[in-house]
């Protein structure tokens, strides 16, 4: 009984509402038993021997963490305390201040050493490193151990980062908007300058430092040249200052045309001496103001950005002219490998955007300076739901490289869907490119280990925003956490990372941990199942918001995200024998696996091969039946997530519980939209019915256009698969209604109302049964479109309604602004279905 009361008390400790702002750094109170254990073994004092701001942050964080988790405030001491203490400092400072501890170790930059030493009969816990940043990382590592319930007495542990480069990019525009950001406006910029209040930048620096991330580019790679203007430098200085105490260095994304547009030269030709000296002078001035600037990121000759092709020069010429200006200051130039022709001729079966990175960069291997890093998206297209590892990773032997992973969920439901990306990233990072004898996984190639390159590593496109929880979805934070942990140690398993994140973010209650892990670890496969299985890529509106479903949006345009689905079959033929030759860009062992239908993995089949719908997968199913089944499985699994999440009520704070419940409920509705749209599209294209008889049949569904309409008018929806029956009803006047007479059996029912929530207004809805008002709501979500389509499609679930034959069911819609209170259908489902 006592134990039971104890558990309840512990749960209550953490149940106050949490905003998510502290993410995994909540330092929440430990349960009493563990806290007591740590209290009895941990020293009561701390002494810090390095005086830099970063080392001071380390000490402050240590105090904050111990106070939060154990309710104890460490006493700050100087000199070598006569009692047991935690000692912080760089190894050289510690050795100088306390030679009697005899600390000796070879430590790489940013790595740390947690150890135990003694002198004069007193034992000390030592957190040390080669540099102050490493000390800070050591403190975070130490606190993480306590939060996870791991032993910290008698420590002897060395940690070193797997790769020197662990950066994030933020695609923030100077006006405060964020390209592909889903967590609110920029923490850095507003109205073309640094925000007045940069406190969130400091908080973000703390999150980044806790993962060992050491640099952040603070503006969009579609760069505004203004970021390099002389009178803009003070803005950059302010952001650098906000990050500096956390050891996070600022980097800038630059526009290659700047010598001309900003500098007033008549050229930006990289081989012109005037241009080289313009870059040099500019970089010198920047470093005078920001001496620890980490470097530049450059997107050139891509998606309308200017580049070296204007002058017939190579990417190496372009990269080197900028890199040479940075080199004397130790700065790095990240040159993006995301170069492709977005006006490609789709009628030519040999054209293939997938080939572009390799075709552009492999011939230049060895031509880049040593402070240039080619930054390569993890797959050959663009962060699709499933892609093979980019062949370019295996093709650069004499060039530094970094893998670009996208943390912001551009093609992954834009934070409105929960998708934990670590399992996907693990597959790419662990994929053996067979680039030489022995194992050559992507992680080793980008870290520079395989070909002994001087630098390289991991870049994550993060795009946090001002939303309290950074991404607009509490669960999405796990992707930043996972990116950082993998950049530090890509050998960590997805399970371990999810487990750590969940415990740090939601506490160690076993049921909570098990439930959240189970949702997170299956979420990628689930999302893939309903948005683009078998390597079709995310079947979204690729020329628009990249959010809702639109099966054909990627076809018949120059962007090259083609999947070639027609009435006979689907898939891009990328083989050497019959297709674009893409498979030949891999080293022979990999190429052979991908070239052959027999050995090609099912999940990449349609990315690499064009096959008929009746083609049999390794699983024994036909392609078409797999497509149907996967979409039902995906949508059902999300419904299951809601049930799983509901089992956590009372185990986590109400605020985050309710936020995630609302998010998952929305996601479940959207998964059905995807399911129906994709399945109906393939049914119409292939003419092959679903063997299980589900596709195109929706028991209990009543189309709005077939209801009795007052004021509402019927509209065709584009693309047709985005709305049930290809049609919706919209309200052109102030108030409209759609009704029907219920003729089914008497009983308890759930009514689902599928309506459209456009961005340009907040319309209101009312549901009435037999004239009685049952529910009312507003369409006030933050969805990315003005149009009536799959992106604005939303669902209201109204359970517990008693229906009798003859009841009139009526929806009233009150439009607002441009939003037309549009309806797609209602579903009347027996309770529990």
> Is 338 near ligand GCV (CB under 6 A)?
yes
Interface with ligand GCV (CB under 6 A), residue from 70, 221, 251, 480: 221
Residues contacting ligand GCV: total by CB under 6 A: 9
Binding flag, residue 750, ligand GCV (CB under 6 A)? no
d(CA 387, CA 499): 26
How far is Cα 148 from Cα 24, in angstroms, rounded to an integer?
A: 11
Interaction mask 145-184, ligand GCV, x per CB under 6 A = --------------------------x-------xx----
Q: Binding ligand GCV by CB under 6 A: which of 206, 299, 378, 574? A: 299
Of the two residues 112 and 547, which places its CB atom closer to ligand GCV in the complex? 547
Give catalytic status of residue 410 as yes or no: yes
* CA gap 333, 371 in Å, rounded: 6
Coil, strand or helix: which one is 224?
Answer: coil
The closest of 470, 425, 461, 531 to 182, measured between CA atoms, is 470
| Helical residues (DSSP H) of 377-416, grouped into ranges | none
Question: At closest approach, how far in Å is the CB of 410 from ligand GCV?
Answer: 6
Instruction: Answer yes or no whether residue 382 interacts with ligand GCV by CB under 6 A.
Output: yes
The single-letter DSSP state of residue 178 is B
Tell me if 798 sits within 8 A of 753, measured CB to CB. yes
Judged by beta carbon, residue 227 or residue 630, the one nearer ligand GCV is 227
User: Binding of ligand GCV at residue 341 (CB under 6 A)?
Assistant: no
Residue 313 binds to ligand GCV (criterion: CB under 6 A) = no
Please state the three-class secondary structure of 29-46 as a single string: CCCHHHHHHHHHHCCCEE
Residue list 691-720, contact with ligand GCV (CB under 6 A): none
690 is catalytic: no
Residue 403's DSSP bridge partners are 376, 458
Nearest to 49 by CA among 93, 18, 16, 81: 93
Name the catalytic one among 410, 467, 703, 705.
Answer: 410
Q: Which is nearer to ligand GCV, 547 or 755 (CB)?
A: 547
| DSSP calls for 338-355 | ----TT--TT-TT--GGG
Residue 554 beta carbon to ligand GCV: minimum distance, rounded to whole angstroms: 12
Q: In the bound complex, what is the minimum distance in angstroms from residue 342's beta carbon to ligand GCV?
A: 9
528 classed as catalytic: no
310 sits near ligand GCV (criterion: CB under 6 A): no
Closer to ligand GCV by CB, 382 or 659: give it. 382
**Nearest CB to ligand GCV, comparing residues 545 and 680:** 545
Q: Whole-angstrom Cα distance, residue 587 to residue 391?
A: 8
Q: 86 or 381, CB closer to ligand GCV?
A: 381
Shortest reach from residue 97's CB to ligand GCV, in Å: 47
Q: Whose Cβ is closer to ligand GCV: residue 390's or residue 526's? A: 390
222 binds ligand GCV (CB under 6 A): yes
- Between strands 189-190 and 156-159, the pairing is unpaired
Phi and psi at 753, nearest 5°, equal -105, 120
Q: Which two tokens stand for residue 25?
A: 């750094």
User: Roughly what angle, to the nearest 10 degrees, separates helices 477-488 and 199-211?
Assistant: 50
Instruction: Enter the tokens of residue 100.
Output: 């009697």
The least distance separating ligand GCV from the CB of residue 382, rounded to whole angstroms, comes to 5
Output the smallest distance, CB 781 to ligand GCV, in A. 22
Choosing from 32, 157, 284, 303, which is the catalytic residue? 303
* Active-site choice (61, 352, 382, 807): 382
User: Rounded CA gap, 545 and 782, in Å?
Assistant: 13
When the beta carbons of 171 and 361 are compared against ligand GCV, the nearer one is: 171
Chain centroid offset of residue 794 CA: 23
Cβ(239)–Cβ(201) below 8 Å: yes
Alpha carbon separation from 319 to 276, 301, 334, 341, 364 (Å, rounded): 11, 12, 8, 19, 11
DSSP lists the bridge partners of residue 803 as 747
Residues in contact with ligand GCV by the rule CB under 6 A: 171, 179-180, 221-222, 299, 303, 338, 382
Task: Give catalytic residue positions.
Answer: 303, 382, 410
């Amino acid at each position: 009984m006592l134990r039971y009361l104890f558990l309840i008390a512990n749960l209550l400790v953490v149940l106050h509402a949490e905003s998510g702002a502290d993410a995994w750094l909540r330092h929440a109170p430990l349960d009493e038993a563990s806290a007591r254990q740590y209290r009895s073994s941990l020293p009561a004092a701390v002494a810090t021997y390095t005086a830099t701001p970063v080392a001071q942050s380390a000490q402050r964080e240590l105090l904050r963490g111990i106070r939060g988790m154990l309710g104890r405030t460490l006493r700050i001491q100087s000199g070598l305390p006569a009692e047991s203490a935690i000692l912080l400092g760089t190894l050289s400072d510690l050795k100088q201040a306390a030679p009697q501890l005899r600390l000796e170790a070879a430590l790489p930059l940013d790595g740390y050493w947690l150890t135990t030493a003694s002198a004069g009969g007193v034992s000390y816990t030592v957190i040390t490193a080669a540099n102050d940043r490493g000390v800070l990382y050591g403190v975070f590592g130490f606190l993480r151990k306590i939060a996870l319930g791991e032993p910290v007495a008698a420590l002897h542990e060395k940690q070193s980062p797997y790769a020197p480069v662990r950066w994030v990019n933020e695609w923030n525009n100077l006006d405060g908007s964020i390209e592909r950001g889903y967590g609110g406006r920029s923490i850095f910029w507003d109205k073309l300058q640094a925000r007045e209040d940069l406190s969130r930048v400091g908080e973000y620096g703390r999150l980044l430092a806790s993962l060992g991330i050491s640099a952040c580019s603070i503006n969009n790679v579609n760069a505004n040249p203004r970021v390099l203007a002389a009178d803009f430098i003070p803005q950059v200085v302010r952001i650098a200052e906000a990050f500096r105490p956390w050891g996070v260095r600022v980097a800038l994304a630059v526009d290659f045309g700047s010598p001309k547009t900003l500098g007033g030269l008549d050229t930006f030709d990289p081989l012109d001496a005037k241009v080289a000296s313009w870059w040099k002078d500019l970089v010198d001035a920047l470093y005078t103001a920001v001496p620890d600037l980490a470097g530049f990121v450059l997107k050139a000759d891509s998606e309308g950005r200017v580049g070296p092709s204007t002058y017939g020069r190579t990417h190496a010429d372009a990269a080197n002219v900028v890199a040479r200006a940075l080199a004397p200051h130790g700065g790095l130039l990240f040159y993006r490998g995301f170069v492709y022709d977005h006006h490609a001729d789709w009628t030519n079966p040999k054209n293939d955007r997938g080939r572009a990175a390799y075709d552009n960069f492999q011939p230049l291997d060895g031509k880049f300076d040593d402070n240039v890093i080619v930054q390569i998206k993890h797959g050959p297209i663009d962060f699709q739901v499933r892609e093979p590892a980019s062949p370019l990773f295996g093709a650069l032997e004499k060039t530094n490289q970094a893998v670009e992973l996208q943390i912001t969920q551009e093609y992954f439901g834009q934070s409105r869907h929960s998708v934990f990306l670590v399992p996907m990233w693990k597959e790419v990072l662990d994929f053996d490119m067979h680039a030489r004898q022995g194992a050559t996984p992507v992680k080793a190639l980008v870290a520079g280990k395989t070909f002994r390159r001087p630098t390289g590593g991991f870049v994550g496109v993060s795009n946090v925003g001002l939303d309290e929880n950074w991404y607009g979805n509490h669960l999405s934070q796990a992707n930043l956490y996972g990116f950082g942990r993998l950049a530090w140690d890509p050998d960590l398993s997805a399970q371990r990372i999810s487990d750590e994140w969940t415990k740090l973010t939601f506490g160690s209650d076993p049921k909570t941990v098990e439930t959240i892990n189970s949702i997170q670890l299956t979420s990628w496969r689930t999302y893939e199942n309903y948005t683009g299985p078998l390597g079709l890529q995310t079947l979204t509106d690729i020329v628009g918001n990249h959010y809702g479903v639109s099966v054909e949006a990627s076809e018949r345009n120059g962007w090259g995200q083609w999947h070639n689905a027609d009435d006979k079959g689907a898939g891009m033929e990328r083989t050497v024998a019959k297709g674009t030759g893409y498979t030949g860009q891999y080293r022979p062992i990999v190429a052979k696996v991908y070239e052959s239908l027999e050995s090609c993995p099912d999940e990449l089949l349609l990315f690499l091969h064009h096959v008929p719908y009746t083609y049999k997968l390794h699983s024994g199913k036909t392609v078409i039946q797999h497509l149907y089944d996967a979409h039902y499985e995906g949508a059902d699994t999300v419904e299951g997530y809601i049930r799983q999440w509901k089992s956590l009520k009372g185990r986590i704070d109400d605020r985050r519980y309710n936020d995630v419940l609302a998010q998952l409920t929305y996601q479940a509705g959207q998964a059905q939209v995807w399911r129906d749209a994709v399945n109906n599209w393939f049914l119409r294209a292939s003419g092959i019915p679903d063997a299980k008889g589900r596709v195109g049949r929706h028991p209990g569904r009543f189309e709005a256009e077939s209801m009795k309409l007052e004021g509402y008018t019927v509209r065709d929806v584009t693309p047709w698969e985005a709305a049930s029956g290809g049609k919706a009803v919209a309200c052109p006047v102030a108030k409209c209604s759609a009704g029907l007479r219920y003729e089914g059996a008497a009983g308890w029912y759930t009514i689902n109302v599928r309506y459209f929530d456009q961005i340009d207004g907040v319309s209101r809805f009312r549901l009435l049964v037999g004239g009685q008002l049952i529910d009312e709501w507003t369409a006030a979500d933050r969805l990315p479109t003005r149009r009536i389509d799959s992106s604005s499609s939303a669902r209201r679930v109204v359970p517990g309604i008693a229906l009798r034959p003859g009841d009139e069911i009526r929806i009233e819609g009150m439009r607002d602004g441009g939003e037309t209170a549009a309806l797609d259908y209602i579903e009347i489902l027996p309770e529990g279905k």
